[in-house]
Amino acid sequence: MIERPIPPLLDALLDACHDAFIAIDSQGNVIRWNNMATKLFGWHPGEAMGRPMAELIVPEAQRDQHERGMKRFQETGEVRMLNRRVTLQARRRDGEIFPVEMTVSMGEDQGRVVFFSFLHDLSERRRTEDQLLEIARTDTLTGLPNRRHVRERLDAAIAAAKRRDRGLAVLFIDLDQFKVINDLQGHHVGDMVLKELAKRLKANLRQNDFIGRLGGDEFLLLMEDVEQDKDAVIVADKLLDLIAEPMQLEPGKPLVVTASIGLSIYQGDETTSDILIRQADEAMYRAKRDGRARLAKWHDRTTPASVPPAAPRAPFFDFMEKVFAKPQANPGFGAREQFLQDALRATREHFGMDVAFISKFEEGRRVFEQVDPPVNSALIQQGNSDPLEETFCQRVVDGRLPECLPDAMANSEASSLPATREIPVRAHLSVPLLRKDGSVYGTLCCFSHAPDMSLNERDVDMLRVMSVMLNERMS
């Protein structure tokens, strides 16, 4: 240890320094320890002086390296860290590991070698850098990883899959008719939908899954360690159901949205993140072309596969032309009734359903205002009514049932209703009819006595368009 004391002025300057100052002898023992060193590492000068610096501030994982450096100096005089700024890990008295920037210089005192070290705490800078990096990699609306972060994670996952010879899957998720939500209900509702969807997806991840938002209404789910393609298909099917659950975004205004999902599987070799995302994107668009609200899988650079496409439908404009063609004279009907009857008939024929009707909600009851064709049933006749709570109509409006039911018996809520068994109702399409003030007038419905598995979200969209045009006649 150096016997000569440090001059008082220099000692005061070192204690006023904003960085930790530690001096050690050629054996690595502490011979000077300033106030900032005490603040930074937790050891008081009386505890530190004379002890090996390695015991006080060097993490255990790095002590061997430190000891080798000291031994190399003692044997050869070589000091590799001399007069350079280096960033390394240090250890506080309580065991916390934190980053520091250290500068080491060497001098002599009374013929003895002395090492002087200045150490600057980088913890706050690292926290700021980490926060900025997190901001740069996070979607501000949903809090999910953004496109940049997704790409980084996918690149890393592909590299890991190559090393470990394991599979991975990419699910490209895109909301159906999201633009309609923004246009009709406002972008604030669209933002709420995206945040609710992000919340649902994040809460239902498997342990190793990763979800991010690519932008707009596009999300990407990365599944690592996928052993079989069917594992990804099972997850995708669950996501379709999860997304379609009614969203209670505003009091009394349940909203049901659906999504189309494209699936691509890591094939090994030269597959890149760009290739996987592009394949999943192409498959997703195939799912939309096949009717939306479904999964499509990309297959070996060929046409993506999906569930069987919906049955051919009449072109939209042909349909609307038929609905709004000048009605034929019918002495038994007024102009309004004639229009509604023609609209129902064209709607029913277009969808290939058995019955179409317009209902009106009055004092807790559902009233059949118009029915096509006339039904020989006490349950469904123009002017008849039944308790609203027991109807498909009420459950569609409040979100307990989806607007499209290919088979009512496959839905626990629908299968419990009297109409399902007594009429019977199996395939069902229904959308609300609204007054000019936005309140619910009733519903526009179609149903069939047999299931129709070709019904899909595209049909609901067309029925919605019809409902908008009918709303003017419902006031």
Res 85: pLDDT:
87
What is the predicted pLDDT for the residue at 161?
Answer: 92
**Catalytic residue of the set 217, 281, 372, 452:** 217
Delimiting residues of CATH 3.30.450.40 domain(s) in the chain: 316-471
Dihedral sign from CA coordinates of 222, 224, 230, 234: negative
Instruction: Note whether 213 and 198 are within 8 A (CB).
Output: yes
Q: How far apart (Å, rounded) are the C-alpha atoms in residues 240 and 80? A: 59
pLDDT of residue 111: 75
First to last CA, the chain: 98
For the chain, the farthest-separated pair of C-alpha atoms sits apart, in whole angstroms, at: 123
In the block, tokens 């065991």 appear at 95
Extract the tokens encoding 292.
């939306």
At 48, list the tokens.
């530190």
Q: What is the pLDDT along the chain (475 residues), one digit of tens a residue?
A: 444 455 566 667 777 788 999 999 988 899 999 999 999 999 999 999 999 999 999 999 888 888 888 888 887 877 777 888 899 999 999 999 999 999 999 888 777 889 999 999 999 888 888 777 778 889 999 999 999 999 999 999 999 999 988 899 999 999 988 887 887 778 899 999 999 999 999 999 988 899 999 999 999 999 999 988 899 999 999 999 999 888 888 776 778 889 999 999 997 777 899 999 999 999 999 998 888 889 999 975 444 444 444 444 444 445 555 555 544 445 455 677 888 888 888 888 888 899 999 999 998 999 999 998 876 566 677 888 888 888 999 999 988 999 999 999 999 999 999 888 888 899 999 999 888 777 889 999 999 988 888 888 878 877 887 787 777 665 5
Q: Under CATH, which number does the domain 137-306 receive?
A: 3.30.70.270
Contact 172, 296 (CB under 8 A): no
pLDDT, residue 351, reads 86
Strand partners, 447: 355, 428
Residue-level pLDDT at 350: 82
The two structure tokens encoding residue 83: 């007069």
Please report the pLDDT score of residue 273 as a whole number: 92
- Using CA atoms, how far residue 21 sits from 59, 90, 152, 263, 327, in Å, is 18, 14, 40, 58, 95
In this prediction, residue 142 carries a pLDDT of 96
Sign of CA dihedral 190, 192, 195, 197: negative
Q: Roughly what angle, to the nearest 10 degrees, separates helices 457-471 and 316-323? A: 30
Q: Where in the chain is the domain with CATH 3.30.70.270?
A: 137-306
- Exposure string for 379-410, b = 16+ CB within 10 A, e = fewer: ebebeebbebeebbbbbbbebebbbbbbbbee
73 three-class SS: helix
Please tell me whether the overall predicted TM-score, pTM, comes out greater than 0.75 for this model: no
CATH architecture of 316-471: 2-Layer Sandwich (3.30)
Q: What is the third-level CATH fold of 8-125? A: Beta-Lactamase (3.30.450)
Whether 121 is a known active-site residue: answer no
Please give the structure tokens belonging to residue 318: 């042909």
> Looking at residue 210, what is its pLDDT?
97
- Residue 224 pairs in a beta bridge with 168
Structure tokens at 217: 């209404």
